[in-house]
């Protein structure tokens, strides 16, 4: 870890210093955990109070944070257009990404003679590379992974321990797959006839495009016919299940425990909250936002935000919720009217 001044940090991220630009920074931390010599950040103005309580030596803030000069409280800020992005750049500068030691191919790995291994590839202990598999330049495969027959992994990938890639799958460049993921197991396809569930051969594969990152213990079914696809730049968290022949577009974000059934088409830049479920054979447009635990059972047009199970547009859901809140009031009014009505009837 190097030492760097607030001024240098601000220049690195294209921000402006408010306060003492000569302060030396050695690390980055959250507002509550930062101490002297550490820089922190404010990504959401509702945490402004935490900035005041923080012992951070400098805080990266946005254009509209702490605009009242009195509120600054003698603090040193780095003011940026996009404070979260700036903070990311600072963390990379100060701490860097995880380094992957060059180890070459372990003699304790099992590499098939027919496998094609690119230059600068690292294959750790107890990794199994099957026949005709291909591993691209500078890719690192950690211990206890299995890469199936004929599967192809691109350049600069990181495959963490205990990952399984089945046969006939294609993984692009700069893909990161965290531990315990399974890519290309047979999808859930049976033809039930006379009370027996007959297995339908799953002869498709999986394509993971460039720059995808996948969290721990995800499960991506291979296609029945044709591939299941995870689009370029899409990022997935942990324990996610993707069904056969589903195609997820580029640059989507999927939070943990999302489950998407088979043959779903998802556009680009969609965001799936945690534990969202999606039924099979539907189409989700670009830029769709799906709230946590939602259950999506119909096509979703481009740009829509949906919540609930079954999922509905967020505006509609709020209206339903409001109506429910009105219920006690409604009942009360009804009783009053009933009373009046009864007394009128008696009088007449």
Catalytic residues: 244
**CB 69, min distance to its own copies, A:** 28
The residue among 72 and 312 lying less far from its own copies, judged by its C-beta, is 312
- Per the CB < 8 A criterion, the answer to whether 281 and 264 are in contact is yes
Contacts of 183 (CB under 8 A, 6+ apart): 163, 164, 165, 166, 169, 171, 177, 206, 208, 220
The residue among 11 and 85 lying less far from its own copies, judged by its C-beta, is 85
What spatial distance separates the first Cα and last Cα of the chain, rounded to whole Å? 91
Euclidean distance between CA atoms 275 and 294, whole angstroms: 7
**CB 21, min distance to its own copies, A:** 23
Euclidean distance between CA atoms 260 and 273, whole angstroms: 12
Q: Are strands 312-313 and 295-296 parallel, antiparallel or unpaired?
A: unpaired
**CB 206, min distance to its own copies, A:** 12
- Per the CB < 8 A criterion, the answer to whether 102 and 119 are in contact is no
The residue among 72 and 117 lying less far from its own copies, judged by its C-beta, is 117
The residue among 72 and 296 lying less far from its own copies, judged by its C-beta, is 296
**CB 11, min distance to its own copies, A:** 18
- Per the CB < 8 A criterion, the answer to whether 228 and 220 are in contact is yes
């Amino acid at each position: 870890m190097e030492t760097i001044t607030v001024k240098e940090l601000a220049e690195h991220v294209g921000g402006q210093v408010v306060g003492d630009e000569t302060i030396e920074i050695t690390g980055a931390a959250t507002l509550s955990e930062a101490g002297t010599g550490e820089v922190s950040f404010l990504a959401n103005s509702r945490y402004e109070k935490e900035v005041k309580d923080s012992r951070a030596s400098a805080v990266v803030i946005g254009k509209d944070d702490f605009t009242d000069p009195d509120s600054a409280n003698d603090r040193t800020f780095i003011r940026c257009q996009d404070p979260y992005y700036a903070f990311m750049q600072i963390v990379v500068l100060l701490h860097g990404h995880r380094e992957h030691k060059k180890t070459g191919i372990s003699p304790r790995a099992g590499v098939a003679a027919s496998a094609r291994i690119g230059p600068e590839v690292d294959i750790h202990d107890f990794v199994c590379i099957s026949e005709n598999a291909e591993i691209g330049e500078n890719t690192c495969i950690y211990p206890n992974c299995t890469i199936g027959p004929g599967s192809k992994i691109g350049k600069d990938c990181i495959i963490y321990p205990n990952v399984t890639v089945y046969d006939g799958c294609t993984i692009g460049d700069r893909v990161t797959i965290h531990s315990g993921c399974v890519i290309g197991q047979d999808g859930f396809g049976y033809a039930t006839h006379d009370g027996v569930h007959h297995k339908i051969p799953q002869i498709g594969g999986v394509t993971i495009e460039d720059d995808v990152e996948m969290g721990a213990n995800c499960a991506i079914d291979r296609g029945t016919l044709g591939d299941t696809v995870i689009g370029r730049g899409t990022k997935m968290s942990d324990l996610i299940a993707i069904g056969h022949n589903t195609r997820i577009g580029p640059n989507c974000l999927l939070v943990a425990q999302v489950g998407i059934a088979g043959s779903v088409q998802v556009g680009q830049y969609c965001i799936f909250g945690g534990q969202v479920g999606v039924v099979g054979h539907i189409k989700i447009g670009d830029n769709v936002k799906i709230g946590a635990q939602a259950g999506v059972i119909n096509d979703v047009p481009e740009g829509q935000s949906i919540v609930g199970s079954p999922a509905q547009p967020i505006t509609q859901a709020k209206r339903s919720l409001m109506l429910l809140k009105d219920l006690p009031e409604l009942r009360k009014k009804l009783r009053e009217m009933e009373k009046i009505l009864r007394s009128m009837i008696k009088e007449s």
